[in-house]
């Protein structure tokens, strides 16, 4: 009887939280987002058999780019492209000038405007995304000549931050991403297929289990990660 109960408990626990529980941090960089590669990249990891356990779109704000407010919504708007200087010059201008298509409305503003959603401002990581996050993320490269350019590039547009889970996921994701320099990345890898320059290389993936742990805790709160039963797991793992 005890064995049966223990067996049932173990089975329940296993199905709720995968045995293949290594996790890695992945970020689709601003060039990857602007070039509409988000779906393609997620598709590759999903089709490989990896499990998505965390996902958010965020815009890291640099010190010289305070976000103007959109009247009525109470949330910042993050301008994109050439419309930015106009928006800064006339923050009092009525909403949607420059055109709405030039502005990325972050989750914060959307939530505040949506009457069906409870207001949960504390859960909006977007508001916390400062350049300090990027400096910390790339702290190991702080003495490299491209460090400040790298931080600027990463704050030049929205980033999609993700946590993926699976067996040997850190190594697997790095293999699928390719080499740091796209020119050395094989066709079939993400950098091998979608970019040409090291300074615009579309995607980041943790390079070790330890750095994955640190990067996940830097970018995500524990409650932003979802442990869910992947019903395809039996077809992926023995």
Which listed range, 53-61, 81-89, 94-102, 194-202, lies at the site for ligand ADP (CB under 6 A)?
Answer: 194-202
Does the annotation place 191 within a ligand binding site?
A: yes
> Using N-to-C axis directions, what is the helix angle for 38-48 and 169-177, rounded to 10°?
130
The residue at minimum Cβ distance from ligand ADP is: 180
**Token code pair at residue 218:** 């830097």
Can you tell me the distance from the alpha carbon of 22 to that of 166, in angstroms, rounded to the nearest whole number? 6
Q: Does 180 bind ligand ADP (CB under 6 A)?
A: yes
Q: Is 207 in the site for ligand ADP (CB under 6 A)?
A: yes
195 forms part of the interface with ligand ADP (CB under 6 A) = no
Q: How far apart are the first and last CA of the chain?
A: 28
Task: Identify any residues that bridge with 164 across adjacent strands, giving them in sequence order.
Answer: 24, 52
**Of 159, 166, 160, which is closest to residue 46 (Cα–Cα)?**
166
Number of chain positions touching ligand ADP (CB under 6 A)? 9
Question: With binding defined as CB under 6 A, does residue 137 bind ligand ADP?
Answer: no
- Considering only 53, 70, 77, 150, the residue that binds ligand ADP (CB under 6 A) is 150
**Residue 24 within binding range of ligand ADP, rule CB under 6 A:** no
> Could you tell me which residues come within 8 angstroms of residue 80 by beta carbon, excluding any fewer than 6 positions away?
102, 103, 104, 157
CB atoms within 10 A of CB 148: 11
Where do contacts with ligand ADP occur on this chain (CB under 6 A)?
141, 146, 150, 180, 198-199, 201, 204, 207
Residue positions forming the annotated binding site for ATP: 29, 146, 174, 180, 191, 201
């Amino acid at each position: 009887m005890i064995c049966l109960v223990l067996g049932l408990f173990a089975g329940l626990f296993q199905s709720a939280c995968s045995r293949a529980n290594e996790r890695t941090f992945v970020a689709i960089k601003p060039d990857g987002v602007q070039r509409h590669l988000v779906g393609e990249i997620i598709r590759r990891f999903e089709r490989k058999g990896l499990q998505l356990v965390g996902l958010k779109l965020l815009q890291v704000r640099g010190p010289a780019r305070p976000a103007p407010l959109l009247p009525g919504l109470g949330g910042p708007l993050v301008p994109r492209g050439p419309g930015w200087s106009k928006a800064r010059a006339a923050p009092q201008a009525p909403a949607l000038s420059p055109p709405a298509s030039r502005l990325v409305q972050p989750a914060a503003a959307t939530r505040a405007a949506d009457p069906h959603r409870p207001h949960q401002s504390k859960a909006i990581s977007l508001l916390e995304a400062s350049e300090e996050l990027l400096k910390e993320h790339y702290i190991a490269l702080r003495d490299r000549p491209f460090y400040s350019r790298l931080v600027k590039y990463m704050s030049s547009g929205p980033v999609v931050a993700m946590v993926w889970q699976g067996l040997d996921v850190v190594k697997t994701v790095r293999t699928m991403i390719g080499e740091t320099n796209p020119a050395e990345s094989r066709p079939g890898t993400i950098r091998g297929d979608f970019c040409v320059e090291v300074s615009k290389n579309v995607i980041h993936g943790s390079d070790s289990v330890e750095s994955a742990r640190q990067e996940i805790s830097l970018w995500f709160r524990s409650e932003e990660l979802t442990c869910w039963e992947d019903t395809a797991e039996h077809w992926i793992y023995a």
